Amino acid sequence: MEEDNEQEIVVEDDYYTFLNVPKNATPEEINNAYRRQSRLYHPDKHVDPVLKKEAEVLFNRTKKAYEVLSDPHKRAIFDTVGIKGLETEGWEIVQRTKTPSEIREEYERLEREREERRLQEHTNPKGNVTVYINATDLFSKYDEDYSNSMDIFSSIEVSGMSFTQSIEAPLTLKDTITLYGSLATQNGTGHGTINVSAKKLVSSKGWVELDVGAGNGPTISLKGFRTLTKRLFCDGETILQFTAHGVRPGLVGTLAMQLDKHTVGYLTYRAGIQSAMSTMLVRDTSRSYTSILIHLGIIHSYINLHYVYKMKEKELKLRGNIRIGTFGAFLEYGVEKKVSRHSSLAATVRISVTTGVTLKVKLNRASQTYAFPIHISEEILPAPVFYATVVPFITWTVVKKFVVDPIVKERKERDKEKQKEMNKTRMLEKQKEAKAAIELMRATFSRIRAEEESKKGLVITKASYGRFVYPLQDRSTVEETGRNRDEVIDVTIPLQCLVRDSRLILHDTSKSQLPGFYDPCVGEEKQLLIQYLFHNQTHECIIKDTEPLRIPVPCKNYIIYLYDILLIDDIILRKY
- Name the nearest CA neighbour of 324 among 357, 298, 301: 301
pLDDT(462) > 70: yes
Note whether 297 and 288 are within 8 A (CB). no
pLDDT score at 558: 47
Given a contact cutoff of 8 angstroms between Cβ atoms, the answer to whether 295 and 280 are in contact is no
Residue 514, pLDDT above cutoff 80:
yes
> What's the predicted TM-score (pTM) here?
0.61
CA distance 464 to 531: 9
pLDDT score at 361: 95
CB 421 within 8 Å of CB 10: no
The residue with greater pLDDT, 417 or 484, is: 417
Which amino acid is residue 380, in one-letter code? I
Give all domains of the chain, ordered by start, each with its CATH number.
Answer: 15-117 (1.10.287.110), 123-137+155-216 (no CATH), 423-474+485-551 (no CATH)
Closest CA to 20 of 417, 550, 492: 550
Residue ranges of E strands in 353-396? 356-365, 368-377
When the pLDDT of each residue in the chain is averaged and rounded to a whole number, the result is: 82
pLDDT tens digit sequence for 388-434: 999 888 988 898 888 888 888 888 788 777 777 777 777 788 888 89
**Each residue of 355-367: pLDDT tens digit?**
999 999 999 987 8
ω before 471 within 30° of 0 (cis)?
yes
Helices assigned H by DSSP within 8-48: 15-19, 27-41
Report the C-alpha gap between 500 and 485 in whole angstroms.
30
pLDDT at 341 over 70: yes
What CA dihedral angle connects 256, 276, 369 and 138, to 10 degrees? Answer: 140
Which band of pLDDT confidence, cut at 50, 70 and 90, is reported for residue 188?
Answer: confident
pLDDT of 350 above 90: yes
Q: What is the pLDDT of residue 121?
A: 53
Phi/psi for 176 (5° steps) reads: -140, 135
Give the per-residue pLDDT at 47: 78
Q: How many CB atoms lie within 10 A of CB 41?
A: 24
The three-state secondary structure class of 7 is coil
How far is the C-alpha of 215 from the C-alpha of 384, rounded, in Å? 38
Cβ neighbors of 66 (< 8 A, separation 6 or more) are: 19, 30, 34
Q: What is the number of other CB atoms lying within 10 angstroms of the CB of residue 88? A: 11
Segment 185-204 mean pLDDT: 89
Q: What is the 3-state secondary structure (H, E, C) of 491-516?
A: CHHHHHHCCECCEEEECCCCHHHCCC
Whole-angstrom distance, CA of residue 317 vs CA of residue 99: 45
What lies within 8 Å, CB to CB, of 212 at 6+ separation is: 195, 196, 197, 218, 219, 220
Q: Is the pLDDT of residue 65 over 60?
A: yes
Lowest-confidence region among 78-82, 427-431, 481-485: 481-485
| Strand (E) or helix (H) holding 104 | helix 100-119
How do residues 247-272 score in pLDDT, each as one tens digit? 889 999 999 999 998 999 999 999 98
Instruction: Inform me whether the pLDDT recorded for 561 exceeds 90.
Output: no
At 479, is the pLDDT very low, low, confident or very high (cuts 50, 70, 90)?
very low
CB atoms within 10 A of CB 175: 12
Q: Strands 302-311 and 316-325, how do they pair?
A: antiparallel
Task: For residue 282, give the nearest of 294, 274, 298 by alpha carbon.
Answer: 294
How wide is the angle at C-alpha 346 spanned by C-alphas 340 and 350, nearest 5°?
175
Question: Looking at the predicted structure, is the pLDDT value of residue 130 above 70?
Answer: yes
3-state secondary structure of 92: helix
Cβ partners under 8 Å of residue 56, min gap 6: 43
